[in-house]
Structures are given as structure tokens and as C-alpha cells.
Structure 1
């Protein structure tokens, strides 16, 4: 049984014509329609996750101060917890298994814009659970090194464009 995902009316109202419903039965149209619904779910989830990130970081920084990146730490840790919970709710036999767009909305959209560290953490943990410890450790070291290097490179390029030293 396939359950359709739809957003609550206050957020989004989607009108589907009878022709479009009939067209969903054709393979190519079915694929395109699913892609569009999944993309819409990611867009909405990204807006929600980004807003949540802003709110959590703002509150954490106000309560804990900004001498240490507490807000980012809170977001990254809570995002890792959230993605673990959501994956468990959307895997085979779980309550949200049949809601394909819910996976895209919650895991890719919300968690993806709330924190990318949640995805990184899930992937690294999956490697470790599969006894691929060297690969998991390499993923951690390479990801951290490349991301820090990427931030440095972005700052270097950006500062060069605006003339900051």
C-alpha cells in the first residue's frame, strides 16, 4: 500500500488535475511526478530545518555565550540525534516506511539544512557498525581536514575578492 504525502493546507495547497492523476500511471510521468514531489518535500524541509538551525543557535548562544561555538555544537549533536531517530522511523517496517516524501522532507530537507554533520555522523557510524573501522576513521579525518581546508580556501578567495587581508 502506498500512502501519499501531502503538506497541511496552511503550508501548501496542491491541486492535481484528473489528467495528471491518470498520467501518473505511465512510467515516465510517474517518475517525473515523484521527482517533483520529492523535490518539493526537500524544499519545504530545508526551509524548516534552516529556520530551526537559526533559532537553536540563537538561543544557545544567548544562554551559553559565544566564546565557544555552543550553538553549532548543540545543532550538530541534536541533528545527529534527529537523523538517527528519523532513519529508524523510515526504515523497513517502521511507521513512516511507506511515506517516501516524508523521508525526503525530514531527512534530506530538515536534517540537511539543520546540519550536515548529522548525515556525516550517520554515514560514519554505519561504516563502524559494518566493521569498516579504518574507513570510518579515514572518513572522519579526511572530512574534517577537507572541510577545514575548504573553509580556509573559501575565506581566502572571498577575502581576495573584497580586498580583506
Structure 2
């Protein structure tokens, strides 16, 4: 049953990632990969809330499989982050490559921390 929940979450997360990425990137006239940045930070925040809720017993393992592993796993994308960072570097946009790597890691960890903190505030 867990595999089915993961697959269902991923089936929703992958197209959501694509649509959000395209919508965000279309609004920015920049080489910076804003769409990937947005989905990765959103995924980190959602996963943080889920992990915090699971730690407090408020989020069952079935919901963690559906949303945490399935949805967030397909929504966020480390491989695209890596590819876009290397692409920026190779195209001579070294500042944006460094900015993308630095800000993505800091913001992703920060979003996860905020998510866990929110969960702890919601489910003490």
C-alpha cells in the first residue's frame, strides 16, 4: 500500500513541479532558475511541516508516504538544481551559478527549519 501512496503523490508532484516551474520562470526575465528555486523551497517547507508533524505523532506514516516521499520527492528536484547550476557556470554566468548554489542550499534548509517550527507550533 505504501508504494501506491508514494506513486500517487509523485503522480501529482511531477506535473505540479513542471507547471509551477514554467509559470514562475515565465514571470522572470533572468538566467537565474527561479522556477526550480521556487519548487525546491516549497518542497522543503512542506517536507519540514510533515517531518515536524510526524515527530509529534500528528502526521501518520501513510500521509508521510503520500505527501512527504511522493509529492515532495517529485515536486522538488535536486538533479535539475545541479544541472542548472552547472549550465549557468558553463555559459559564463558564474555569479548566478554561485548565487543559485548558495541561496538554494541556505533557503532550502531554512524553509525546512521553518516547516518543522510551524509543525511544532501547530502540534505541540
Same fold by TM (over 0.5)?
yes
- For residues 57 and 76 of structure 1, the distance between their equivalents in structure 2, rounded to whole angstroms, comes to 10
Q: Are positions 1:72 and 2:33 aligned together?
A: no
Q: Please give the TM-score of this superposition, normalised by the length of structure 1.
A: 0.45
Task: Indicate the structure whose relative CO is greater, using CA pairs within 8 Å and at least 6 residues apart.
Answer: 2
Return the alpha-carbon distance in structure 1 between the equivalents of residues 57 and 4 of structure 2. 25
- Select the structure that is richer in helix: 2
Q: Is the 8 A contact 2:36 2:77 kept in 1?
A: no
Report the count of equivalent residues: 83
User: Following superposition, which runs of at least 4 residues in structure 1 exceed 3 angstroms of deviation?
Assistant: none
Higher Cα radius of gyration: 1
- In structure 2, the partner of 1:115 is 76
Alpha-carbon distance in 2 for matches of 1:93, 1:109? 20
**Matched-pair contact (CA < 8 Å) for 2:8–2:66:** yes
1:104 to 49, 59, 65: 65
The answer for unaligned runs of 5 or more in structure 1 is: 1-36, 127-165
- CA-based RMSD: 2.3
Q: Which residue of 1 aligns with 2:45?
A: 81
* Runs of at least 5 residues in structure 2 that lack an aligned partner in the other structure: 79-104, 114-124
Matching residue of 1:90: 54
